[in-house]
Amino acid sequence: MDALLTALADPARWRLVSLLAERPRSVGVLAQLAEARQPQTTKHLQNLERAGIVTSRRTGQRRVYALRPGPLRDLAAALGRLADAAEEEGGSHATYDRYGARVEEERLAAEEPGWADGRSFAFLRPLAGTPELVWRHLTDVSLLARWWTPDDLRVSELVFDVRPGGRVVQEYREAEDVDGSDVTAGRAEGVVEEVRPGEHLAYRLSPLLPDGGHAFTAHVVLDLRPTDTGTDLDVRWRITDSVVESAAFVAGIEIGFGQSLDKLAANLAADPRNSHINEITDITETTEITDTRSST
């Protein structure tokens, strides 16, 4: 594939491929139609033949070249797969485009300081596990680091002192930046305000701008409610102290924190401490099936 792409990258060779797509032609005729010297045309055709794109046959005093469609179809199929991957519904490219549209909307709205003050966001997630287990995933740094970033990012520094007045620091990088050589993707600092283990958690968190200033202050409240199947997590965000430069940060809250909560749900579902809940669910489902069969 590399040889194919290299051969087709030259405009002169692409012109010859286009001419041969119409019909087989001799070197002399191809040189005339391409308005090029014959030695140069011969060299280009030899490169195309080595790449498997064309084939040739000597006929009398002439050498006639013809296009081989197979490699071009293979290339077209490979390019089609790349395009399909980029257009995958709900994939990372769709999220990138959606975020870009929101950034533009927020930048138009960000005309003066305080432009986003009072803006609120709400998230509700039914989660596997007891409130006590969910609480651990919300406050234990080793568990929190596994989910508290949007997709394609990783936590690189995390402080979460779970007590009123406790310090909060969240720094994250690109997930593929394994050696930390790229620039930091983001950093936020804040403080814990209210703590009721297994029930209620509130904290302030401020994303930092490149100059170190605060983009805004997010007042985040998390409430946990036990249910028959686990725990409902109710999260509310409220923005104050927003500056004009915070548009890109505000645009990412709904998408980014939503992705983080999806990862939290997946981590809880996979937590081995939930095995007894899964066993209870299996027993309940089996009992329901048995009762249904007995009634027929």
CATH no. for residue 254?
3.30.530.20
Pair (127, 247) in one structural domain: yes
Give residue 238's pLDDT.
Answer: 98
Closest to 170 in 3D by CA, of 157, 161, 153, 152: 157
Is residue 38 in a domain? yes
CA 14 to chain CA centroid, nearest Å: 35
Is residue 183 in a domain? yes
- CA distance linking residue 147 with residue 258, whole number of Å: 11
The CA-atom distances, in angstroms, between 241 and each of 117, 121, 205, 219, 237 are 6, 16, 11, 11, 13
Pair (52, 147) in one structural domain: no
Helix H or strand E encompassing 269: helix 253-270
Is residue 100 in a domain? no
Is residue 269 in a domain? yes
Pair (66, 186) in one structural domain: no
Query: Encoding tokens for residue 79?
Result: 């390019």
Pair (38, 151) in one structural domain: no
Q: Map residue 145 onto helix, strand or coil.
A: coil
- Among 57, 76, 95, the domain-final residue is 76
1 within 8 A of 75, measured Cβ to Cβ = yes
Domain that holds residue 56: 2-76
Pair (166, 46) in one structural domain: no
Query: Encoding tokens for residue 141?
Result: 């740094």
pTM of the full structure: 0.75
Q: Which amino acid is at 3?
A: A
Through-space distance between the first and last CA atoms of the chain, rounded to whole angstroms: 62
Count of structural domains within the chain:
2
Helix H or strand E encompassing 92: helix 92-109
Pair (126, 269) in one structural domain: yes
Pair (137, 264) in one structural domain: yes
DSSP code at position 241: S
Give residue 94's pLDDT.
Answer: 86
69 within 8 A of 54, measured Cβ to Cβ = no
Query: Encoding tokens for residue 121?
Result: 């966001």
The CA-atom distances, in angstroms, between 137 and each of 10, 113, 142 are 55, 35, 8
Pair (148, 203) in one structural domain: yes
Give residue 286's pLDDT.
Answer: 33
- CA distance linking residue 278 with residue 137, whole number of Å: 18
Pair (145, 199) in one structural domain: yes
Which ranges of 141-223 would DSSP assign to H, the alpha helix?
Answer: 141-144
Pair (54, 129) in one structural domain: no
Give residue 279's pLDDT.
Answer: 47
Is residue 293 in a domain? no
Give residue 246's pLDDT.
Answer: 97
DSSP code at position 212: S
The helix/strand count (H/E) of the chain reads as: 11, 10
- CA distance linking residue 68 with residue 71, whole number of Å: 7
Is residue 157 in a domain? yes
Give pLDDT < 70 ranges for the chain.
Answer: 275-296
- CA distance linking residue 202 with residue 162, whole number of Å: 10
Is residue 123 in a domain? yes
- CA distance linking residue 219 with residue 240, whole number of Å: 8
Is residue 99 in a domain? no
